Amino acid sequence: MKADISFEFFPPKTEEGIIKLREARKQLALMQPKFFSVTFGAGGSTKDRTMETVLEIQSEGFEAAPHISGISSTKQEIKDLLQTYQSNGIRRLVVLRGDLPSGEVSVGDFAHANQLVSFIREQAGNAFEIEVAAYPETHPEARSASKDLEHFKTKVDAGANAAITQYFYNADAYFQFVDRCESLGISIPIVPGIMPIYNYTQLARFSNVCGAEIPRWLSLRLQDYGDDIASLRALGVDVVTSLCEKLLDGGAPGLHFYTMNQSGIISQITSNLGLKQS
Ligand code: FAD
């Protein structure tokens, strides 16, 4: 099976984390990914770590795509960041609104991601391929699924080249979302974001915050395993492999894996899928 794949990392905080990420990256690089992306958090030190991680990936000869979020940023800050990325040869960005850090009230110069996409196009023309976020199960703050879709279209109209979805475990949610996008004339590739199952408590917490639904049957089965992590992960690998198969068979243009900076479970999934290793 052949598919474009990409892998997402978060910037590690410690020397040990940096070393572990290098090892994971080495394994995942065997899949010949289209790019590795690195998340972004509000706050100075996190921003610096995104930059450091991206530049290290790039120095190893891989395409690296920093995530960049507009919330609580000024136009000048974004302009400076774009210039630094451009001068370091970065050619792809994952562009997001982000979420306000707790206690912070000012949204800054970019209330929504479409404004940031427009600003990047104004400042840098077509210097960057721009990926934006999409929500097959609807963003948790959206007033309605149709409003959320209209808002997604504003990012595409502002100049996004492709989208990566929030994770989901129901393939129909993705296919219906893509159909609804097509009916609005949206034709950019919409790549499913895939969250392997590492740990139930963490997954349930994330899903609650980001509005991703864990189907009841799956949630109950995962909870049954309790501390038996090996069995939980084995079920997770089966479930996620079957989801990826359905997505690719149904025409998804690729897969973007949320790696949590680990390679083991993803290697099992990609091997089950028969995805090519170099
Ligand atoms: P938007 O597209 O701006 O949408 C946010 C909400 O506002 C939606 O409910 C939308 O319907 C609504 N909306 C949009 N435009 C308008 C408008 N004009 N008027 C009124 N309402 C509007 N977060 C991070 O902090 N760092 C990361 O690195 C990061 N990476 C991510 C990667 C992916 C692939 C995904 C799917 C999410 C990522 N996130 C990240 C999370 C993301 O920042 C949050 O989901 C955030 O709440 C929304 O970002 P967005 O870019 O989708 O925002």
Place of tokens 């290793």: 277
What tens digit of pLDDT does each residue of 189-203 get? 999 999 999 999 999
Among 215, 219, 207, residue whose Cα is nearest residue 258:
207
> Judging by beta carbons within 10 Å of its beta carbon (0-12, 13-18, 19+), is residue 4 exposed, middle or buried?
middle
Ligand 1 center to 95 CA (angstroms) = 9
Angstrom CA distances, 255 to 80, 112, 187, 270, stand at: 31, 25, 17, 10
Query: Residues enclosing ligand 1, CB less than 6 A?
Result: 39-41, 67, 69, 94, 96-99, 112-114, 133, 139, 141-142, 147-148, 151, 154-155, 164, 166, 193
The correct CATH number of 4-272 out of 3.40.50.300, 3.20.20.220, 3.90.1150.10, 3.40.190.10 is 3.20.20.220
Atom of ligand 1 nearest to the CA of 112: 3
H or E element at residue 65:
strand 64-69
H or E element at residue 86:
helix 75-87
C-alpha 269/C-alpha 56 separation (Å) is: 26
Within 13 A of 97's CA, how many CA atoms are on the CB side? 17
Q: What type of residue sits at position 213?
A: E
Model confidence, pTM: 0.97
Question: In this structure, are residues 77 and 109 in contact, taking their beta carbons and an 8 Å threshold?
Answer: no
Residue to mutate, 97, 167, 258, ligand 1, most ligand atoms under 8 Å from C-beta: 97
What tens digit of pLDDT does each residue of 57-75 get? 999 999 999 999 999 899 9
What tens digit of pLDDT does each residue of 114-150 get? 999 999 999 999 999 999 999 999 999 999 999 999 9
Question: In this structure, are residues 256 and 193 in contact, taking their beta carbons and an 8 Å threshold?
Answer: yes
60 an active-site residue? no
Please give the chain's pLDDT, 278 residues, in tens. 778 999 999 999 999 999 999 999 999 999 999 999 999 986 656 778 999 999 999 999 999 999 999 998 999 999 999 999 999 999 999 999 999 887 777 888 999 999 999 999 999 999 999 999 999 999 999 999 999 999 999 999 999 999 999 999 999 999 999 999 999 999 999 999 999 999 999 999 999 999 999 999 999 999 999 999 999 999 999 999 999 999 999 999 999 999 999 999 999 999 999 986 65
Among 106, 114, 122, 98, residue whose Cα is nearest residue 42:
98
C-alpha 165/C-alpha 46 separation (Å) is: 23
